[in-house]
Structure 1
Amino acid sequence: MFHSKHWIFAGRWAKKGHIIKEASGDSYEAIVDYTYFFEPISCEVTNPLGSTNISRTVDVYFGPRMMSEPQSLLVDLGSDAVFNCAWIGNPSLTIVWMKRGSGVVLSNENTLTLKNVRQEDAGKYVCRAVVPRVGAGEREVSLTVNVLPN
């Protein structure tokens, strides 16, 4: 004769290793934000025979978020100017550096390097990030060129 035994399962939900106090039971419902893309949700289930832990990240789509703010620069005539601008987004984003008022793309990288700057390089520069079908963001910085006296 076969006898079945009912076990009581104790479950624990966590996000990035931190217990979610308001979560209990065999399901967890939440309004997700971009952090769920980087911080995995895990569920640890325990019974008298042992425990198991399952962890998952959530493929959350989110528009560009600034990770590193670009800074305005003052550089001497003939020096190099290097701007940095770091974004994250999901799905993959595109970065575009342009001089304000110009339609010319200067860089598609986090970094914009202007070599041997001239007086006409002075002005406003824009770092723009686009996540297709989700959103866009931009930051503006200034380049001031210091002309040294002869």
Structure 2
Amino acid sequence: MLELTVRLVVSLSLVIGLLLLLAKLGGRRFRGKHDALVRVLHRHQLSRGSTVSVVAVGSRVLVLGATEHQVRVLTELDPEEIAEHEAAVLSLTENVDDDTETVDAPKTAVPAAARATNPLAGSVLSAATWKQALAAATRRSS
């Protein structure tokens, strides 16, 4: 029985180690460069075939609507507003990491620029994901 338990723990730790390694290597490959001319700041899927994306192209910030057949520029945003919004979201995410967070605190979506620092953000392996799931489960049960 002890041998079976040891083999199970070793196998599980090997699988989790490989997942962490793949997440780290995969995050580097698909993250993109910070000095790239075109960067996707945020993407939101509206339906199965349509999305709205906020894209930085040089010094301009564009909101693009994309379907399976076309891409349209919906509007152009002020880059200073985006920088202020990202700073506000980063300060909110720092507060989420504290243990003093209350269950009723408002939660906002973290843009891709804020997630770039943690390759596990939003995945099952992220501690923040489990904290949010626990908070949602305890809020529903009470």
User: Shorter-chain TM-score: what band?
Assistant: under 0.3
Q: Which has the higher helix share?
A: 2
| Superposition TM-score, scaled by structure 2 size | 0.20
| Superposition TM-score, scaled by structure 1 size | 0.19
| Greater RCO, 1 or 2 (C-alpha within 8 Å, sep 6+) | 1
Q: Which has the higher strand share?
A: 1
